[in-house]
Amino acid sequence: MSRHAGNGETVEEERKQWLETVVAATDRSAEQVRRIRSPYHNALVADLEALAARLRTELAEASRAPTEREERIAQNEILFREVNERIRKLEQGWELRKVDFVCECGDPSCTSPVTVTLARYEAVRQDPRRFIVLPGHEIRDVEQVVERHEGFLIVEKHLKTHEQVAAADAR
């Protein structure tokens, strides 16, 4: 199931359009600054060109379908999340108490505990694209670290698997 933006498009389609707009604006800005021809402006042009290149890469990634590996990793993380949801139900009412949840990384053999408060777990669960993993358990080609904490990281799945993890969210 796709999440929809206010205009009837999926959030993913809206993000792709936004990326295309930003890339075009960045290219135009770089071209305008390039005409000025000063050392300071040369550095600015290089920064704008680097930004545009990163955005083009992100746009290309967002436009392709997820690979079997990416889907499998997302499915592993979804299964660990289901275990953690059962733990959460058992611990309900103790929001400030630290609880051992299962690392939600994509490694199917990982059963390492991640200790966080129930309140922190609930905050992460507000976004079905985000997962709690141990440092070093992130898989950078399928997710990005969005927060770093002592003893754990919060990762967000790349755009290609957003629909898969959102559809699996029982909430």
Strands (E), 50-112: 98-102
Task: Please tell me whether residues 39 and 17 are part of one structural domain.
Answer: yes
| Euclidean distance between the first and the last CA atom of the chain, given in angstroms as a whole number | 13
The 10s digit of each residue's pLDDT in 57-67 is: 777 776 667 78
| Residue 11 confidence (pLDDT) | 57
Number of domains into which the chain is organized: 2
Q: Do residues 138 and 157 lie in contact, with contact meaning Cβ atoms separated by under 8 Å? A: no
| Residue 12 confidence (pLDDT) | 66
Range of the domain at 161: 68-168
| Residue 62 confidence (pLDDT) | 67
Task: Please tell me whether residues 32 and 74 are part of one structural domain.
Answer: no
pTM of the model: 0.53
Token pair listed for 62: 């967002």
- pLDDT beneath 50, residues of the chain: 1-5
